[in-house]
Amino acid sequence: MAVLQSVVTKQPPSGAASPIDKRSGQGANFFLVQSGSKRGACRSQGRISVVGETKRKPARPVAKESAAAKPEAAAAPQAEAAPKKVTQISCSRGLSAFMADNKLSFGFTSYQSGRLYLVGRLPQGKVSFHERHFMRAMGVAATPQRLYLAGQFQVWRLEDVMGGRVADGFDRNYVPRNAQTTGDLDVHELGVEKSGRVIFVNTRFSCLSTFSLTHSFKPIWKPPFISRLAPEDRCHLNGLAMEDGEPRYVTAVCKSDVITGWRDRRAEGGCIMDVRNDRMVTEKLSMPHSPRLHNGKLWVLDSGRGRLARVDPETGATETVTFLPGFARGLAFHGHFAFVGLSLPRDGSFSGLELDGELARRDGEPWCGVQIVDTRSGDIVQWIRLTGEVRELFDVFVLPGVRCPKATGLLDGTIQNEISIEDWSPADKRAPAPAPEVLAAAGA
């Protein structure tokens, strides 16, 4: 596991950004979780607690010597160990109070590094960052009880097993209970219908899909300009907005019907479509992501321009709410606050996108992290910033009513003994209810 290093600074004057001396660390408190550290160990001198996950090494088998065995060649001199990758996590000094005031926690994913982060508030007021590894962690459909998480070739279902209890300051523990194997479909965002059926954006096949009991997926909708389903990522369908438990709006980078055609249309080929009637809501967006319906309004991230925008679903008119200094992906709401995920460019610049020039005009550097926006004013009121190994985020989600969540991981062996028993009485003669994914696949 990569080493996590979070940096928290002494409180600056009101309204000022937290200063960090990267050379000496003066004026900063450091928290470090190293590979091999005891699970759950939190050693912190500052106002942040970070818990990472370490893969448990299996016991090394002992080979019996054989008379016919040849002696091993002398080992070459060991090369100098490569430096461990480090991720620094910093946050605005008011983040803990913000979560307390709004009675929430939240999370985000990084597909580039395969991580799920849960952010909460420990009883003593520290901000908790709880990290777990899931290969190519992408979209999340979240409730306080359950998380659906898209991965590289599976969609995971994680259930909270705490049942209202609090242990070590955590009031949620999301445990993986099911992994629906789909194959590599480049699943982006997820939604859950009223029936419990899971809908996901099948980017590789340019369609919306659901689970199948026997196959990789069952398609349920495709854009009208896609002539047939093929594993060609033609338009880069990526975002999904649900309304009243049904899929309503989707985003795509363009309307191309040829293999990876979207790559030549990033600057202004983006669009939002209405799934109910195949209507084009708006066009001329730049790599749009994360459409959302909130408080009766349609929102979208115009990612290639670094904008959070409102869209009139009838006329298609767009209104910019604020500029964001990074490639925006992942959007969630709580009241009048928008939580937005930001990513760094892959090659050092956002080549060919308006975002690159806008950052230069504002004399700014791109961010990787989460920024919380007051949608009434467009002001960024709180933030998290990641530097180092983690460079790209994908989704952001809010957990209302949750103080401090964590998740059980797959790497350190803990899940083998994470056993819980559902309430049961011998007098209860009812048949057990099917799992949500079984009901969904059966069309219930």
> Per-residue pLDDT tens for 175-202?
999 999 999 999 999 999 999 999 999 9
The pLDDT value recorded for residue 436 is 62
Residues in the chain: 444
Average pLDDT over residues 276-301: 97
Q: Which of 62-66, 160-164, 368-372 has the highest mean pLDDT?
A: 368-372
Confidence at 306, pLDDT banded by 50, 70, 90: very high
The rounded radius of gyration (Å) of the Cα atoms in the chain is: 23
> Which pLDDT does position 33 carry in this prediction?
30
pLDDT of residue 56: 62
Q: pTM for the complete prediction?
A: 0.81
> Mean pLDDT over all residues of the chain?
84
pLDDT: which is higher, 302 or 38: 302
What pLDDT band is residue 72 in, cutting at 50, 70 and 90? very low
For residues 16 and 419, which has the higher predicted lDDT (pLDDT)? Answer: 419
CATH topology for the 3-54+86-416 domain: Neuraminidase (2.120.10)
What confidence score (pLDDT) does residue 350 get? 73
Where does the pLDDT of residue 49 fall: very low under 50, low under 70, confident under 90, or very high at 90 and above?
confident
Q: What is the mean pLDDT of residues 357-377?
A: 96
pLDDT, residue 42, reads 34
Above 70 in pLDDT, residue 70? no
In this prediction, residue 16 has a pLDDT band, given cuts at 50, 70 and 90, of very low
pLDDT beyond 60 at 323? yes
54 or 108: which leads in pLDDT: 108
